[in-house]
Amino acid sequence: MSRQLDAQAGHGTGDFVTINIGPSHPAMHGTLRVVALTDGETIVEADPEIGYLHRGVEKLAENLTYHQFIPITDRLNYCSAITNNVAYEMAVEKLMGIEIPDKAKVIRSIMMELARISDHIVCVGILGVDLGAFTPFFYLFIQREELYEIFEWYNGARLTNTFGRIGGVEADLPEDFEERWRRLVPNLRKAIDETDKLLTHNRIWMDRTIGVTAFSAEDALNWGFTGPCLRACGVKRDLRKDEPYYLYDQLSFEVPVGKHGDVFDRYMVRMIEMEESIKLVDQLLKIYKEFGPDDPLMAKVPKVLKGPEGEVYAAIESPNGELGFYVKGDGSDKPYRVKIRPPCYMVYQAFPELVKGEMVADLIACLSSLNIIAGELDR
């Protein structure tokens, strides 16, 4: 299809015109490309082309030791690198049968929830920018900056965190972590609240988002949606609740669901999830305080990790949806095969279906609200 549309580029067929959007375009996050056949402003057909950010991540894994691959996972969904790290570590630990200490579980959960907030901030902020509302983006990003300060303060990295080690985490939370978090929470809540005030009940915002690229729950399930995009369609599925890992079954939190699966619902689901994540971190910190400073952070793991023969699949609820790692070991210190299941990939499949018949401006809104991250899409 792509080739067909390309051939027509510049000429148009009959009443239609092909517009090439991306890979270098202000609204294409990363390097996505969509070739759209348009009738005036209406999209007759949209054809996304992927692979512009393909770096052969999965192949790289086969030539690196289990530990060496962790920094590469940072480069998948770079908006929330920590969740990628943990998902990979979880899969490897499952393969090797390592049970990590409870304290490490709590620290991982705390950091993952922070990463979730920062990821949602990016998504909601950019959605605003793409719809012409520039200001909420800054309100949110100033707070994301604070979150990054916390990450930086934990292990020195801001964006590509390389968080955790196989068998646990590398370091305890810094001493005044809680104090710092308490300082951040009111500002974060205020930023979310201000965004809510500026956008949610804004007439223009509602016109631009409600009913735009709506998707039914059945379709969403058939296309393999997960995460906020699926929940926006009204399916209450969250791996933290449905297949709990770590301590999530001991925590109480709401899983927000939408109704119509349109841009507005996706936006709302993310807004509520940010609030839920704040509550989760509070609960986790309470559990964390029960541990002593000398409690182990790492399970007993050999110096040279050798994966046994066998294959495992482990998935977590990343901010974008189900992020799974399939790891196959062959007894050596390198994985035989690593297959990544990024949530974006499944969601982006449905993109032509979603935007058919909508307008060019909706295509941009849809893309932002799906939160397609080229890094994890192309791998």
Partner 1 sequence: MNDWVIALIKVVFIWTWTLIIATIMTWVERRGSAMIQDRLGPNRAGPFGLFQPLADGIKLFTKEDIIPEKAHKILFNLGPILFALPAFSAYAVVPFGDKIVIGGKEILLQVADVNVGFLYIVAVGSMAVYGIVVGGWGSNNKYSILGGLRSTAQLISYEVPWGIVLLTTVMVYGTFSLREISLAQQGTFLGFLPNWGIFKQPLGFILFIVTAYAEANRVPFDLPEAESEIVAGYHTEYGSMRLGLYLFGEYVNMYTLAALMVTLFFGAWHLPYVDMSKFLSPFAYGIASFLVFFAKVAFFLWLFVWVRWTVPRFRYDQVMGLGWKALIPLALANLFITALVVQLTV
Nearer to partner 1, 84 or 368 (CB): 368
Answer for which of 57, 82, 92, 199 binds partner 1 (CB under 8 A) is 199
**Counts of helices then strands in the chain (DSSP H, E):** 16, 6
How far apart (Å, rounded) are the C-alpha atoms in residues 228 and 67?
30
Answer for which of 205, 223, 225, 291 binds partner 1 (CB under 8 A) is 205
Among 241-249, 320-328, 347-355, 359-367, the segment contacting partner 1 (CB under 8 A): 359-367
Using CB under 8 A as the binding rule, whether residue 33 contacts partner 1 is answered as no
Using CB under 8 A as the binding rule, whether residue 44 contacts partner 1 is answered as no
Answer whether 374's CB lies under 8 Å from 78's CB. no
Shortest Å, Cβ 202 to partner 1: 6
How far apart (Å, rounded) are the C-alpha atoms in residues 18 and 234?
34
CA-to-CA separations, 42 to 46, 204, 360, in angstroms, rounded: 10, 20, 6
Using CB under 8 A as the binding rule, whether residue 47 contacts partner 1 is answered as no
Using CB under 8 A as the binding rule, whether residue 361 contacts partner 1 is answered as yes
- Site mask for partner 1 (CB under 8 A), range 13-32, x = bound: ----x-xx----xxx-----
Shortest Å, Cβ 321 to partner 1: 24
Largest CA distance in the chain: 73
Using CB under 8 A as the binding rule, whether residue 263 contacts partner 1 is answered as no
Using CB under 8 A as the binding rule, whether residue 267 contacts partner 1 is answered as no
Answer whether 229's CB lies under 8 Å from 214's CB. no
Q: Which of 56, 26, 19 is nearest to 367 (CA)?
A: 26
Nearer to partner 1, 33 or 105 (CB): 33
Answer whether 228's CB lies under 8 Å from 270's CB. yes
Q: Which of 375, 378, 303, 308 is nearest to 76 (CA)?
A: 375
Alpha helices (runs of H) in 289-314, residue ranges in sequence order: none
Nearer to partner 1, 135 or 250 (CB): 135
Site for partner 1 in 115-174 (CB under 8 A): 128-135, 138-139, 142
Q: What is the contact surface with partner 1 in residues (CB under 8 A)?
A: 17, 19-20, 25-27, 41, 128-135, 138-139, 142, 198-199, 202, 204-205, 207-208, 359-362, 364
